[in-house]
Chains A and B, each alone.
Chain A
Amino acid sequence: MELSSNTGIPLSTLKLNARSLRDMGLITYRDGRTAITEAGAFILQLLESEPSMMSRIAERLGGNHMRSSISCYRIIKAVLKVKREGDVLILSKGHAAPAFYAALFEEGMIKAEEIERAGLPESRLQAHPEKGLPEVVFSSGSLGQGLSIANGIALAARMDGINRKVFVIMGDGELDEGQVWEAAATTSSHKLSNVIAIVDRNGTQLSGNTEVVKQKEPISAKWASFGWIPMEGSGSPEIHIRKAIEIAERMERPVVLIMRS
Protein backbone atom coordinates (compact mmCIF):
# COMPACT_ATOMS: atom_id res chain seq x y z
CA MET A 1 0.00 0.00 0.00
CA GLU A 2 2.77 2.36 0.98
CA LEU A 3 4.80 1.55 -2.15
CA SER A 4 1.68 2.04 -4.24
CA SER A 5 1.00 5.51 -2.87
CA ASN A 6 4.69 6.49 -2.97
CA THR A 7 5.19 5.49 -6.59
CA GLY A 8 1.72 6.22 -7.85
CA ILE A 9 1.49 2.70 -9.29
CA PRO A 10 -1.89 1.05 -8.64
CA LEU A 11 -1.78 -1.82 -6.18
CA SER A 12 -3.30 -4.16 -8.76
CA THR A 13 -0.39 -3.43 -11.12
CA LEU A 14 2.15 -4.11 -8.39
CA LYS A 15 0.44 -7.42 -7.63
CA LEU A 16 0.40 -8.32 -11.30
CA ASN A 17 4.08 -7.43 -11.63
CA ALA A 18 4.92 -9.57 -8.60
CA ARG A 19 3.02 -12.49 -10.06
CA SER A 20 4.71 -12.02 -13.42
CA LEU A 21 8.15 -11.98 -11.81
CA ARG A 22 7.29 -15.23 -10.07
CA ASP A 23 5.84 -16.80 -13.22
CA MET A 24 8.94 -15.83 -15.15
CA GLY A 25 11.04 -17.56 -12.54
CA LEU A 26 12.85 -14.38 -11.58
CA ILE A 27 11.76 -14.56 -7.95
CA THR A 28 10.57 -17.34 -5.68
CA TYR A 29 7.92 -16.94 -3.03
CA ARG A 30 7.58 -19.66 -0.44
CA ASP A 31 6.31 -19.60 3.18
CA GLY A 32 6.00 -15.85 3.06
CA ARG A 33 9.62 -15.46 1.98
CA THR A 34 10.75 -13.87 -1.23
CA ALA A 35 14.07 -14.61 -2.88
CA ILE A 36 15.68 -13.72 -6.16
CA THR A 37 16.43 -16.73 -8.32
CA GLU A 38 19.64 -17.28 -10.27
CA ALA A 39 17.90 -16.06 -13.43
CA GLY A 40 16.58 -13.03 -11.56
CA ALA A 41 20.04 -12.20 -10.31
CA PHE A 42 21.36 -12.49 -13.85
CA ILE A 43 18.68 -10.10 -15.11
CA LEU A 44 19.62 -7.60 -12.42
CA GLN A 45 23.23 -7.95 -13.49
CA LEU A 46 22.18 -7.32 -17.11
CA LEU A 47 20.25 -4.25 -16.11
CA GLU A 48 23.30 -2.89 -14.37
CA SER A 49 25.60 -3.53 -17.29
CA GLU A 50 25.06 -3.09 -21.03
CA PRO A 51 21.25 -3.32 -21.18
CA SER A 52 20.99 -0.01 -19.38
CA MET A 53 21.20 1.15 -22.99
CA MET A 54 18.27 -1.16 -23.72
CA SER A 55 16.09 0.31 -21.00
CA ARG A 56 16.96 3.81 -22.19
CA ILE A 57 15.81 2.83 -25.66
CA ALA A 58 12.68 1.18 -24.29
CA GLU A 59 11.85 4.37 -22.44
CA ARG A 60 12.16 6.40 -25.63
CA LEU A 61 9.91 3.93 -27.43
CA GLY A 62 7.13 4.38 -24.91
CA GLY A 63 8.41 2.09 -22.15
CA ASN A 64 6.83 -1.07 -23.51
CA HIS A 65 8.13 -4.56 -24.11
CA MET A 66 11.02 -4.45 -21.69
CA ARG A 67 10.38 -7.96 -20.42
CA SER A 68 10.32 -9.33 -23.90
CA SER A 69 13.51 -7.51 -24.78
CA ILE A 70 15.39 -8.79 -21.76
CA SER A 71 14.88 -12.40 -22.75
CA CYS A 72 15.52 -11.71 -26.42
CA TYR A 73 18.68 -9.67 -26.04
CA ARG A 74 21.11 -12.56 -25.72
CA ILE A 75 19.46 -14.40 -28.62
CA ILE A 76 19.84 -11.43 -30.94
CA LYS A 77 23.46 -10.95 -29.86
CA ALA A 78 24.16 -14.62 -30.49
CA VAL A 79 22.61 -14.60 -33.97
CA LEU A 80 24.56 -11.48 -34.94
CA LYS A 81 27.70 -13.27 -33.78
CA VAL A 82 26.99 -16.58 -35.51
CA LYS A 83 25.64 -15.28 -38.83
CA ARG A 84 28.02 -15.03 -41.74
CA GLU A 85 28.06 -12.68 -44.70
CA GLY A 86 24.89 -13.23 -46.73
CA ASP A 87 22.95 -14.87 -43.92
CA VAL A 88 19.70 -13.18 -42.90
CA LEU A 89 18.25 -12.32 -39.51
CA ILE A 90 14.46 -12.12 -39.27
CA LEU A 91 13.27 -10.58 -36.01
CA SER A 92 9.69 -11.79 -36.18
CA LYS A 93 8.96 -10.45 -32.70
CA GLY A 94 9.56 -6.85 -33.66
CA HIS A 95 8.49 -5.64 -30.22
CA ALA A 96 11.94 -6.67 -29.01
CA ALA A 97 13.13 -3.48 -30.69
CA PRO A 98 14.91 -2.14 -27.57
CA ALA A 99 17.04 -5.30 -27.44
CA PHE A 100 17.64 -5.20 -31.16
CA TYR A 101 18.69 -1.54 -31.23
CA ALA A 102 20.91 -2.06 -28.20
CA ALA A 103 22.58 -4.98 -29.97
CA LEU A 104 23.05 -2.93 -33.17
CA PHE A 105 24.55 -0.15 -31.08
CA GLU A 106 27.04 -2.50 -29.53
CA GLU A 107 27.99 -3.82 -32.95
CA GLY A 108 28.66 -0.22 -33.97
CA MET A 109 25.89 -0.26 -36.57
CA ILE A 110 23.98 2.64 -35.08
CA LYS A 111 25.34 5.63 -33.21
CA ALA A 112 24.54 6.95 -29.75
CA GLU A 113 23.11 10.19 -31.18
CA GLU A 114 20.61 8.14 -33.12
CA ILE A 115 19.59 6.26 -29.99
CA GLU A 116 18.94 9.59 -28.27
CA ARG A 117 16.35 10.35 -30.96
CA ALA A 118 14.73 6.89 -31.03
CA GLY A 119 10.94 6.92 -31.16
CA LEU A 120 10.68 10.34 -32.79
CA PRO A 121 8.70 10.52 -36.04
CA GLU A 122 11.77 11.33 -38.14
CA SER A 123 13.97 8.69 -36.52
CA ARG A 124 14.89 5.41 -38.22
CA LEU A 125 14.45 3.77 -34.84
CA GLN A 126 10.71 3.25 -34.70
CA ALA A 127 8.74 1.29 -32.08
CA HIS A 128 9.21 -1.81 -34.21
CA PRO A 129 12.21 -2.17 -36.56
CA GLU A 130 11.53 -0.98 -40.09
CA LYS A 131 13.29 -1.47 -43.38
CA GLY A 132 16.23 0.85 -43.88
CA LEU A 133 18.15 -0.21 -40.77
CA PRO A 134 21.17 -2.50 -40.79
CA GLU A 135 20.22 -6.18 -40.43
CA VAL A 136 16.55 -5.42 -41.24
CA VAL A 137 15.07 -6.87 -44.42
CA PHE A 138 11.38 -6.22 -43.69
CA SER A 139 9.33 -3.92 -41.51
CA SER A 140 8.06 -5.80 -38.49
CA GLY A 141 5.49 -5.18 -35.78
CA SER A 142 2.81 -7.58 -36.89
CA LEU A 143 3.26 -11.02 -35.37
CA GLY A 144 3.36 -14.44 -36.94
CA GLN A 145 4.77 -13.46 -40.32
CA GLY A 146 8.54 -13.77 -39.96
CA LEU A 147 8.77 -17.49 -40.59
CA SER A 148 6.84 -17.20 -43.88
CA ILE A 149 9.12 -14.39 -45.03
CA ALA A 150 12.14 -16.46 -44.07
CA ASN A 151 10.78 -19.35 -46.13
CA GLY A 152 10.45 -17.03 -49.12
CA ILE A 153 14.06 -15.91 -48.72
CA ALA A 154 15.23 -19.52 -48.37
CA LEU A 155 13.25 -20.61 -51.46
CA ALA A 156 14.79 -17.78 -53.50
CA ALA A 157 18.26 -18.72 -52.27
CA ARG A 158 17.71 -22.31 -53.33
CA MET A 159 16.60 -21.22 -56.81
CA ASP A 160 19.71 -19.08 -57.10
CA GLY A 161 22.02 -21.77 -55.75
CA ILE A 162 23.05 -19.61 -52.80
CA ASN A 163 23.86 -21.24 -49.48
CA ARG A 164 22.29 -18.82 -47.04
CA LYS A 165 21.06 -19.36 -43.52
CA VAL A 166 17.95 -17.54 -42.40
CA PHE A 167 17.61 -17.11 -38.64
CA VAL A 168 14.10 -16.37 -37.40
CA ILE A 169 13.63 -15.12 -33.86
CA MET A 170 10.07 -15.63 -32.67
CA GLY A 171 8.28 -15.04 -29.43
CA ASP A 172 6.49 -17.85 -27.63
CA GLY A 173 3.29 -15.76 -27.47
CA GLU A 174 3.58 -15.34 -31.21
CA LEU A 175 2.99 -19.09 -31.61
CA ASP A 176 -0.72 -18.36 -31.04
CA GLU A 177 -0.86 -17.01 -34.61
CA GLY A 178 -2.16 -19.58 -37.09
CA GLN A 179 0.18 -18.33 -39.79
CA VAL A 180 3.18 -19.60 -37.81
CA TRP A 181 1.88 -23.12 -38.29
CA GLU A 182 1.05 -22.59 -41.95
CA ALA A 183 4.64 -21.46 -42.33
CA ALA A 184 6.08 -24.28 -40.20
CA ALA A 185 4.42 -26.77 -42.56
CA THR A 186 5.83 -24.91 -45.55
CA THR A 187 9.40 -25.02 -44.18
CA SER A 188 9.30 -28.76 -43.65
CA SER A 189 7.32 -29.58 -46.82
CA HIS A 190 9.88 -27.73 -48.90
CA LYS A 191 12.77 -29.13 -46.82
CA LEU A 192 14.15 -25.68 -46.13
CA SER A 193 16.83 -26.79 -43.70
CA ASN A 194 18.57 -23.42 -44.08
CA VAL A 195 15.85 -21.87 -41.99
CA ILE A 196 16.77 -21.92 -38.30
CA ALA A 197 13.90 -20.91 -36.03
CA ILE A 198 14.58 -19.72 -32.51
CA VAL A 199 11.68 -19.39 -30.09
CA ASP A 200 12.29 -17.02 -27.21
CA ARG A 201 10.55 -19.13 -24.59
CA ASN A 202 10.20 -16.58 -21.80
CA GLY A 203 6.82 -17.93 -20.70
CA THR A 204 5.08 -14.61 -20.82
CA GLN A 205 2.93 -12.66 -23.26
CA LEU A 206 0.95 -9.45 -23.07
CA SER A 207 -1.86 -10.73 -20.88
CA GLY A 208 0.32 -12.86 -18.62
CA ASN A 209 1.62 -16.41 -18.41
CA THR A 210 1.65 -18.08 -21.82
CA GLU A 211 0.09 -21.30 -20.52
CA VAL A 212 -2.82 -19.36 -19.01
CA VAL A 213 -3.47 -17.15 -22.02
CA LYS A 214 -3.33 -20.00 -24.52
CA GLN A 215 -1.51 -23.23 -23.92
CA LYS A 216 1.77 -23.54 -25.78
CA GLU A 217 3.12 -26.78 -24.39
CA PRO A 218 4.16 -29.27 -25.49
CA ILE A 219 6.05 -26.89 -27.77
CA SER A 220 8.71 -29.33 -28.91
CA ALA A 221 6.19 -32.02 -29.74
CA LYS A 222 4.14 -29.56 -31.77
CA TRP A 223 7.12 -28.54 -33.88
CA ALA A 224 8.21 -32.17 -34.21
CA SER A 225 4.76 -33.11 -35.51
CA PHE A 226 5.18 -30.41 -38.17
CA GLY A 227 8.34 -32.08 -39.43
CA TRP A 228 10.90 -30.02 -37.56
CA ILE A 229 13.73 -31.15 -35.32
CA PRO A 230 13.13 -29.43 -31.99
CA MET A 231 15.97 -28.57 -29.62
CA GLU A 232 15.46 -27.19 -26.16
CA GLY A 233 18.04 -25.10 -24.41
CA SER A 234 18.81 -22.56 -21.76
CA GLY A 235 21.99 -20.72 -20.97
CA SER A 236 24.18 -19.64 -23.87
CA PRO A 237 22.13 -19.18 -27.03
CA GLU A 238 25.30 -19.06 -29.12
CA ILE A 239 26.31 -22.62 -28.32
CA HIS A 240 22.79 -23.86 -29.03
CA ILE A 241 22.51 -21.97 -32.31
CA ARG A 242 25.79 -23.42 -33.56
CA LYS A 243 24.55 -26.87 -32.57
CA ALA A 244 21.23 -26.26 -34.36
CA ILE A 245 23.06 -25.33 -37.57
CA GLU A 246 25.17 -28.47 -37.34
CA ILE A 247 22.11 -30.70 -36.84
CA ALA A 248 20.14 -29.00 -39.65
CA GLU A 249 23.04 -29.49 -42.07
CA ARG A 250 23.51 -33.12 -41.12
CA MET A 251 19.81 -34.08 -41.08
CA GLU A 252 18.72 -31.80 -43.95
CA ARG A 253 15.66 -30.83 -41.97
CA PRO A 254 14.70 -27.55 -40.35
CA VAL A 255 15.65 -27.15 -36.70
CA VAL A 256 13.79 -25.09 -34.12
CA LEU A 257 15.60 -24.04 -31.00
CA ILE A 258 13.40 -23.37 -28.02
CA MET A 259 15.42 -21.06 -25.82
CA ARG A 260 14.09 -21.07 -22.29
CA SER A 261 14.84 -18.16 -20.03
Chain B
Amino acid sequence: MRSFRDELGKALLDAGSMFRNMVVLDVDVCSSTRTDRFAMKFPDRFIQLGISEQDAASTAAGLAISGKIPVLVGFSMFLLRAWEQMRNTISRDCLNVKIIGTHAGLSDHWDGSSHQCLEDIALMRVLPNFTVVCPADAASMRKLLFQMIEIDGPAYMRVGRDNSPEIYSDESELTLGKAEVLADGDDVTLLSCGPTVELCLRAHEELKRNEIGARVLDLHTINPLDEISVLRAARETNGFVVVEEHRRKGGLAGEISEFLSERMPSKIIRIGVDGFGRTAPSYEMLLDFLGLTVKSVVDAAKEVMRN
Protein backbone atom coordinates (compact mmCIF):
# COMPACT_ATOMS: atom_id res chain seq x y z
CA MET B 1 0.00 0.00 0.00
CA ARG B 2 1.32 3.41 -0.96
CA SER B 3 1.17 6.44 1.26
CA PHE B 4 -0.53 9.60 0.03
CA ARG B 5 1.89 11.90 1.78
CA ASP B 6 5.03 10.04 0.75
CA GLU B 7 3.88 10.25 -2.85
CA LEU B 8 2.93 13.88 -2.37
CA GLY B 9 6.44 14.65 -1.16
CA LYS B 10 7.91 13.03 -4.27
CA ALA B 11 5.41 14.60 -6.66
CA LEU B 12 6.13 18.08 -5.29
CA LEU B 13 9.86 17.50 -5.77
CA ASP B 14 9.29 16.62 -9.41
CA ALA B 15 6.88 19.51 -9.87
CA GLY B 16 9.52 21.79 -8.37
CA SER B 17 11.95 20.79 -11.12
CA MET B 18 9.32 21.30 -13.81
CA PHE B 19 7.86 24.58 -12.58
CA ARG B 20 10.72 26.89 -11.74
CA ASN B 21 8.47 29.58 -10.26
CA MET B 22 6.71 27.17 -7.91
CA VAL B 23 7.11 27.94 -4.21
CA VAL B 24 6.06 25.69 -1.31
CA LEU B 25 4.69 27.22 1.88
CA ASP B 26 4.63 25.30 5.13
CA VAL B 27 2.86 25.86 8.44
CA ASP B 28 5.21 23.84 10.67
CA VAL B 29 4.05 20.45 9.42
CA CYS B 30 6.62 19.77 6.68
CA SER B 31 7.78 16.52 8.26
CA SER B 32 4.17 15.28 8.45
CA THR B 33 3.19 16.43 4.96
CA ARG B 34 6.56 15.41 3.46
CA THR B 35 7.25 18.85 2.03
CA ASP B 36 10.55 18.63 3.92
CA ARG B 37 11.87 16.85 0.80
CA PHE B 38 11.09 19.94 -1.24
CA ALA B 39 12.68 22.13 1.43
CA MET B 40 15.91 20.12 1.23
CA LYS B 41 16.14 20.33 -2.53
CA PHE B 42 14.82 23.84 -3.08
CA PRO B 43 15.55 25.80 0.11
CA ASP B 44 15.20 29.11 -1.73
CA ARG B 45 11.70 28.22 -2.85
CA PHE B 46 10.46 26.91 0.47
CA ILE B 47 8.87 29.29 2.97
CA GLN B 48 8.33 28.33 6.58
CA LEU B 49 5.54 30.39 8.18
CA GLY B 50 5.15 28.62 11.50
CA ILE B 51 1.78 27.61 12.88
CA SER B 52 -0.02 30.47 11.13
CA GLU B 53 -2.49 29.24 8.53
CA GLN B 54 -4.19 32.58 7.97
CA ASP B 55 -0.89 34.38 7.50
CA ALA B 56 0.23 31.58 5.19
CA ALA B 57 -2.84 31.84 2.94
CA SER B 58 -2.44 35.61 2.55
CA THR B 59 1.33 35.30 2.05
CA ALA B 60 0.58 32.81 -0.73
CA ALA B 61 -1.73 35.44 -2.23
CA GLY B 62 1.14 37.96 -2.20
CA LEU B 63 3.43 35.47 -3.94
CA ALA B 64 0.79 34.78 -6.59
CA ILE B 65 0.31 38.51 -7.16
CA SER B 66 4.04 38.60 -7.93
CA GLY B 67 3.79 35.81 -10.51
CA LYS B 68 4.90 32.85 -8.41
CA ILE B 69 2.96 29.59 -8.16
CA PRO B 70 2.59 29.21 -4.40
CA VAL B 71 1.65 25.76 -3.13
CA LEU B 72 0.44 25.88 0.45
CA VAL B 73 0.51 22.45 2.09
CA GLY B 74 -0.92 21.74 5.53
CA PHE B 75 -3.44 19.61 7.37
CA SER B 76 -6.80 20.13 5.67
CA MET B 77 -8.54 20.69 8.99
CA PHE B 78 -6.35 23.59 10.03
CA LEU B 79 -6.02 25.21 6.63
CA LEU B 80 -9.74 25.85 6.97
CA ARG B 81 -8.85 28.48 9.56
CA ALA B 82 -7.89 30.50 6.50
CA TRP B 83 -11.18 30.00 4.67
CA GLU B 84 -12.03 33.67 4.82
CA GLN B 85 -8.62 34.61 3.40
CA MET B 86 -9.17 32.07 0.63
CA ARG B 87 -12.60 33.51 -0.04
CA ASN B 88 -11.83 37.21 0.11
CA THR B 89 -8.44 37.30 -1.56
CA ILE B 90 -7.61 34.08 -3.42
CA SER B 91 -11.08 33.32 -4.78
CA ARG B 92 -12.25 36.91 -5.28
CA ASP B 93 -9.10 37.97 -7.11
CA CYS B 94 -8.77 34.58 -8.84
CA LEU B 95 -5.16 34.21 -7.73
CA ASN B 96 -2.97 31.36 -8.86
CA VAL B 97 -2.64 29.77 -5.41
CA LYS B 98 -2.60 25.98 -4.95
CA ILE B 99 -3.69 24.62 -1.62
CA ILE B 100 -3.15 21.02 -0.61
CA GLY B 101 -4.96 19.79 2.48
CA THR B 102 -3.42 16.58 3.77
CA HIS B 103 -4.68 14.22 6.52
CA ALA B 104 -8.18 14.75 5.10
CA GLY B 105 -11.24 12.69 5.88
CA LEU B 106 -10.68 9.95 8.41
CA SER B 107 -7.10 9.22 7.36
CA ASP B 108 -5.64 10.75 10.50
CA HIS B 109 -7.22 7.98 12.56
CA TRP B 110 -4.78 8.26 15.45
CA ASP B 111 -5.32 11.96 16.07
CA GLY B 112 -9.06 11.76 16.56
CA SER B 113 -11.97 14.07 15.85
CA SER B 114 -10.10 17.40 16.05
CA HIS B 115 -7.84 16.41 13.16
CA GLN B 116 -10.27 14.50 10.96
CA CYS B 117 -11.48 17.00 8.40
CA LEU B 118 -15.00 16.26 7.18
CA GLU B 119 -16.02 19.69 5.93
CA ASP B 120 -13.46 20.85 3.38
CA ILE B 121 -15.29 19.76 0.22
CA ALA B 122 -18.39 21.61 1.44
CA LEU B 123 -16.47 24.78 2.18
CA MET B 124 -14.19 24.82 -0.83
CA ARG B 125 -16.63 23.86 -3.56
CA VAL B 126 -18.76 26.94 -2.94
CA LEU B 127 -15.88 29.33 -3.68
CA PRO B 128 -15.97 30.83 -7.19
CA ASN B 129 -12.92 30.15 -9.36
CA PHE B 130 -11.62 27.32 -7.15
CA THR B 131 -10.85 23.99 -8.74
CA VAL B 132 -11.51 21.31 -6.10
CA VAL B 133 -9.84 17.93 -6.43
CA CYS B 134 -9.99 14.77 -4.32
CA PRO B 135 -7.91 11.95 -5.82
CA ALA B 136 -8.72 8.33 -5.05
CA ASP B 137 -5.18 7.06 -4.75
CA ALA B 138 -1.53 8.09 -4.85
CA ALA B 139 -1.08 7.45 -8.58
CA SER B 140 -4.02 9.63 -9.59
CA MET B 141 -2.97 12.26 -7.07
CA ARG B 142 0.31 12.66 -8.88
CA LYS B 143 -1.34 13.04 -12.29
CA LEU B 144 -3.95 15.49 -11.04
CA LEU B 145 -1.41 17.46 -9.02
CA PHE B 146 0.64 18.30 -12.10
CA GLN B 147 -2.48 19.35 -14.00
CA MET B 148 -3.67 21.42 -11.07
CA ILE B 149 -0.36 23.29 -10.93
CA GLU B 150 -0.41 23.81 -14.67
CA ILE B 151 -3.79 25.54 -14.88
CA ASP B 152 -3.96 29.22 -14.02
CA GLY B 153 -6.19 29.94 -11.04
CA PRO B 154 -6.88 28.84 -7.49
CA ALA B 155 -7.13 25.14 -6.70
CA TYR B 156 -7.64 22.98 -3.63
CA MET B 157 -6.67 19.34 -3.36
CA ARG B 158 -7.62 17.12 -0.44
CA VAL B 159 -5.55 14.02 0.21
CA GLY B 160 -5.36 11.43 2.95
CA ARG B 161 -2.39 10.84 5.23
CA ASP B 162 -1.26 7.33 4.27
CA ASN B 163 -3.60 4.45 3.32
CA SER B 164 -3.77 4.98 -0.41
CA PRO B 165 -5.64 2.23 -2.23
CA GLU B 166 -4.22 1.05 -5.56
CA ILE B 167 -6.72 1.85 -8.25
CA TYR B 168 -4.73 3.54 -10.97
CA SER B 169 -1.30 2.74 -12.31
CA ASP B 170 1.43 5.21 -13.14
CA GLU B 171 0.42 4.79 -16.79
CA SER B 172 -3.24 5.72 -16.22
CA GLU B 173 -4.43 8.77 -18.10
CA LEU B 174 -6.62 11.05 -16.04
CA THR B 175 -7.90 14.49 -16.92
CA LEU B 176 -8.75 17.17 -14.40
CA GLY B 177 -12.48 17.88 -14.60
CA LYS B 178 -13.36 14.57 -16.23
CA ALA B 179 -14.79 11.71 -14.16
CA GLU B 180 -13.43 8.19 -14.61
CA VAL B 181 -15.77 5.25 -15.15
CA LEU B 182 -13.93 2.49 -13.32
CA ALA B 183 -16.57 -0.24 -13.68
CA ASP B 184 -19.55 -0.56 -15.97
CA GLY B 185 -23.12 -1.20 -14.95
CA ASP B 186 -26.56 0.09 -15.83
CA ASP B 187 -28.55 -0.62 -12.68
CA VAL B 188 -27.09 1.77 -10.17
CA THR B 189 -24.24 4.30 -10.01
CA LEU B 190 -21.74 4.23 -7.17
CA LEU B 191 -20.25 7.69 -7.19
CA SER B 192 -17.33 8.66 -5.02
CA CYS B 193 -14.11 10.63 -4.69
CA GLY B 194 -11.05 9.88 -2.60
CA PRO B 195 -10.10 6.47 -1.19
CA THR B 196 -13.77 5.44 -0.82
CA VAL B 197 -13.72 4.88 -4.60
CA GLU B 198 -12.06 1.60 -3.72
CA LEU B 199 -14.95 0.74 -1.40
CA CYS B 200 -17.27 1.25 -4.37
CA LEU B 201 -15.16 -1.08 -6.52
CA ARG B 202 -15.47 -3.82 -3.91
CA ALA B 203 -19.21 -3.18 -3.62
CA HIS B 204 -19.40 -3.48 -7.41
CA GLU B 205 -18.00 -7.04 -7.19
CA GLU B 206 -20.39 -7.93 -4.39
CA LEU B 207 -23.36 -6.52 -6.33
CA LYS B 208 -22.29 -8.42 -9.43
CA ARG B 209 -22.75 -11.63 -7.45
CA ASN B 210 -26.29 -10.44 -6.76
CA GLU B 211 -26.74 -9.74 -10.46
CA ILE B 212 -26.85 -6.01 -9.98
CA GLY B 213 -24.79 -3.97 -12.41
CA ALA B 214 -23.17 -1.09 -10.56
CA ARG B 215 -21.34 1.63 -12.44
CA VAL B 216 -18.44 3.05 -10.49
CA LEU B 217 -17.68 6.68 -11.12
CA ASP B 218 -14.58 8.37 -9.69
CA LEU B 219 -15.48 12.04 -9.55
CA HIS B 220 -12.00 13.20 -8.58
CA THR B 221 -12.74 16.77 -9.62
CA ILE B 222 -15.66 18.27 -7.71
CA ASN B 223 -15.19 21.72 -9.24
CA PRO B 224 -15.72 22.09 -12.14
CA LEU B 225 -18.27 19.29 -12.14
CA ASP B 226 -18.20 16.80 -15.01
CA GLU B 227 -21.89 17.36 -15.74
CA ILE B 228 -21.90 15.11 -18.79
CA SER B 229 -20.76 12.01 -16.89
CA VAL B 230 -23.17 12.66 -14.04
CA LEU B 231 -26.12 13.26 -16.38
CA ARG B 232 -25.28 10.14 -18.38
CA ALA B 233 -25.25 8.07 -15.18
CA ALA B 234 -28.57 9.62 -14.12
CA ARG B 235 -30.08 8.72 -17.48
CA GLU B 236 -28.64 5.24 -17.78
CA THR B 237 -28.99 3.93 -14.21
CA ASN B 238 -31.75 3.91 -11.59
CA GLY B 239 -30.04 6.20 -9.15
CA PHE B 240 -26.95 6.95 -7.10
CA VAL B 241 -25.12 5.91 -4.00
CA VAL B 242 -22.69 8.70 -3.17
CA VAL B 243 -19.86 7.64 -0.89
CA GLU B 244 -17.37 10.01 0.67
CA GLU B 245 -15.02 10.38 3.61
CA HIS B 246 -16.76 13.61 4.40
CA ARG B 247 -19.79 14.88 6.24
CA ARG B 248 -22.94 13.66 4.51
CA LYS B 249 -24.04 17.26 4.24
CA GLY B 250 -22.57 19.67 1.75
CA GLY B 251 -19.84 17.56 0.21
CA LEU B 252 -19.79 15.51 -2.97
CA ALA B 253 -23.36 14.33 -2.31
CA GLY B 254 -24.39 17.94 -1.83
CA GLU B 255 -22.87 18.94 -5.16
CA ILE B 256 -24.51 16.03 -7.02
CA SER B 257 -27.89 16.56 -5.34
CA GLU B 258 -27.93 20.29 -6.12
CA PHE B 259 -27.00 19.67 -9.71
CA LEU B 260 -29.37 16.76 -10.39
CA SER B 261 -32.36 18.28 -8.61
CA GLU B 262 -32.36 20.92 -11.34
CA ARG B 263 -31.29 18.89 -14.32
CA MET B 264 -32.53 15.34 -13.76
CA PRO B 265 -34.06 14.53 -10.35
CA SER B 266 -32.72 11.14 -9.27
CA LYS B 267 -32.74 8.85 -6.28
CA ILE B 268 -29.59 9.57 -4.26
CA ILE B 269 -28.47 7.79 -1.11
CA ARG B 270 -25.62 9.45 0.76
CA ILE B 271 -22.98 7.50 2.64
CA GLY B 272 -20.64 9.58 4.74
CA VAL B 273 -20.16 10.74 8.30
CA ASP B 274 -22.67 12.35 10.64
CA GLY B 275 -21.21 13.86 13.76
CA PHE B 276 -17.46 13.54 14.29
CA GLY B 277 -14.72 10.95 13.97
CA ARG B 278 -12.98 9.06 16.76
CA THR B 279 -9.48 7.90 17.62
CA ALA B 280 -8.81 4.44 16.22
CA PRO B 281 -5.75 2.20 15.94
CA SER B 282 -6.38 1.66 12.26
CA TYR B 283 -7.95 3.49 9.36
CA GLU B 284 -10.05 0.47 8.40
CA MET B 285 -11.40 0.11 11.93
CA LEU B 286 -12.51 3.74 11.91
CA LEU B 287 -14.27 3.41 8.56
CA ASP B 288 -16.04 0.31 9.86
CA PHE B 289 -16.99 2.05 13.09
CA LEU B 290 -18.56 4.93 11.19
CA GLY B 291 -20.35 2.71 8.70
CA LEU B 292 -18.28 3.40 5.63
CA THR B 293 -18.27 -0.24 4.59
CA VAL B 294 -18.79 -2.36 1.52
CA LYS B 295 -21.93 -3.67 3.17
CA SER B 296 -23.48 -0.22 3.59
CA VAL B 297 -22.72 0.61 -0.06
CA VAL B 298 -24.25 -2.69 -1.19
CA ASP B 299 -27.35 -2.20 0.99
CA ALA B 300 -27.77 1.34 -0.30
CA ALA B 301 -27.46 0.13 -3.90
CA LYS B 302 -30.18 -2.44 -3.28
CA GLU B 303 -32.31 0.30 -1.72
CA VAL B 304 -31.89 2.38 -4.89
CA MET B 305 -32.99 -0.64 -6.94
CA ARG B 306 -36.15 -1.11 -4.85
CA ASN B 307 -37.42 2.32 -5.85
Contact = CB atoms under 8 A, between A and B. Distances in A.
Interface of A: 130-131, 137-139, 141-142, 145, 148-157, 159-160, 178-179, 182-183, 185-186, 189-190
A141 B92 CA distance: 11
10 contacts: A142-B88, A145-B61, A148-B54, A149-B65, A150-B62, A156-B68, A157-B66, A159-B44, A159-B45, A185-B50
Interface string B230-265: 000000000000000000000000000000000000
Contacts of A189: 50
B166 interface: no
B88 A178 contact: no
Contacts of A178: 54
Contacts of A148: 54-59, 61-62, 85
Nearest to B97: A152
Interface string B53-81: 01111111111111110100000000000
Interface residues of B, number: 29
Contacts of B61: 138, 145, 148-149, 152
Interface residues of B, dominant DSSP? helix
A132 to B, nearest CB: 9
Contacts of B88: 139, 141-142, 145
Given A149-B59, A157-B66, A139 B93 contact: yes
A138 B89 contact: yes
Interface in B273-294: none
Most A CB atoms within 10 A — which of B56, B58, B60, B65?
B58
A152 B70 contact: yes
Contact of A159 (B23, B50, B84): B23
A115 B182 CA distance: 57
A131 B93 contact: yes
Given A145-B88, A159-B23, A152 B93 contact: no
Nearest to B92: A139
Nearest to B45: A159
B4 to A, nearest CB: 27
Nearest to A164: B66
B296 interface: no
Contact of B54 (A130, A154, A159, A182): A182
Given A138-B61, A152-B60, 19 more contacts: A131-B93, A137-B65, A138-B89, A139-B88, A139-B89, A142-B84, A145-B54, A145-B61, A148-B55, A148-B62, A151-B55, A152-B58, A153-B63, A155-B23, A155-B47, A182-B49, A183-B55, A183-B59, A189-B50
Contacts of A141: 88
A163 B60 CA distance: 20
B50 to A, nearest CB: 7
A151 B45 CA distance: 14
B89 A152 contact: no
Contacts of B89: 138-139, 142, 145, 149
Interface string B25-63: 000000000000000000011010110101111111111
Contact of B63 (A130, A155, A185): A155
B39 to A, nearest CB: 14
Nearest to A159: B44
B84 A152 contact: no
Contacts of A142: 84-85, 88-89
Given A141-B88, A156-B68, A186-B49, A151 B54 contact: no
Contacts of B85: 142, 145, 148, 179
A71 B85 CA distance: 27
A18 B29 CA distance: 51
Contacts of B92: 130, 139
Nearest to A183: B55
A152 B23 CA distance: 11
Contacts of A150: 62
A189 B65 CA distance: 22
A159 B54 CA distance: 22
A148 to B, nearest CB: 3
A201 B88 CA distance: 25
B45 A149 contact: no
A179 B55 contact: yes
B244 to A, nearest CB: 30
B49 A153 contact: no
B206 to A, nearest CB: 49
A14 to B, nearest CB: 35
A142 B85 CA distance: 8
B63 A152 contact: yes
A241 B62 CA distance: 22
